Amino acid sequence: MFNFFKKNKKEESTPIEKKNLYAPCNGRVVPVTEVADPVFSQKMMGDGYAVIPEDGAIYSPVEGKILSVFPTKHAIGIQMEDGLEILIHMGLDTVEMNGKPFETHVAEGDTVTADTKVATCDLAALAEAGKDNAMVVVITNMDKVKEYELTAEGTVSARQVVGTVLHK
């Protein structure tokens, strides 16, 4: 009659909400466009941010599931619950170091939160090798992103919210 007891279809569907992005380490957050590697700065891999680290404790930048730990330990792929894929790339041009300055603490299939320490990076070894130590976080499937925003600037603490992302 007046549809008082019928549920609205929009109410039945799960609302899409912004998900937090976290600082993977203590340091200074910068937009990905300021990373000293054109693959990242020109957003060829996706949009995101980097933290110039003060120490080598690296935490998950999102809540999700580990998709891959690169054999060279310099990068970790994470899939968020909503399907967005995040890459944390530790340092620039570090693949050629064959994992020496990195110790990973997660494996494929592990569930992670911002409190999960995913890796430890020997920053002194990176410096000795002349490598940039930026901890880069990018959303690799931007075609599924409705909105991305970096909300923090300057000095941040590991596990601090630094931005948000909204799935389409």
Asked whether residue 21 is domain-assigned, the answer is: yes
The range of the structural domain enclosing residue 140 comes to: 16-167
CATH code of residue 64: 2.70.70.10
* Distance (Å) of CA 28 to CA 54, 86, 135, 167: 8, 20, 10, 26
Asked whether residue 125 is domain-assigned, the answer is: yes
Each of the 168 residues of the chain gets a pLDDT tens digit; together they read 454 454 444 444 556 789 999 999 999 999 999 999 999 999 999 999 999 999 999 999 999 999 999 999 999 999 999 999 999 999 999 999 999 999 999 999 999 999 999 999 999 999 999 999 999 999 999 999 999 999 999 999 999 999 999 999
Asked whether residue 53 is domain-assigned, the answer is: yes
Positions marked active-site: 89
Asked whether residue 8 is domain-assigned, the answer is: no
**Dihedral over alpha carbons 46, 141, 49, 24 (to 10 degrees):** -140
Counted domains in the chain: 1
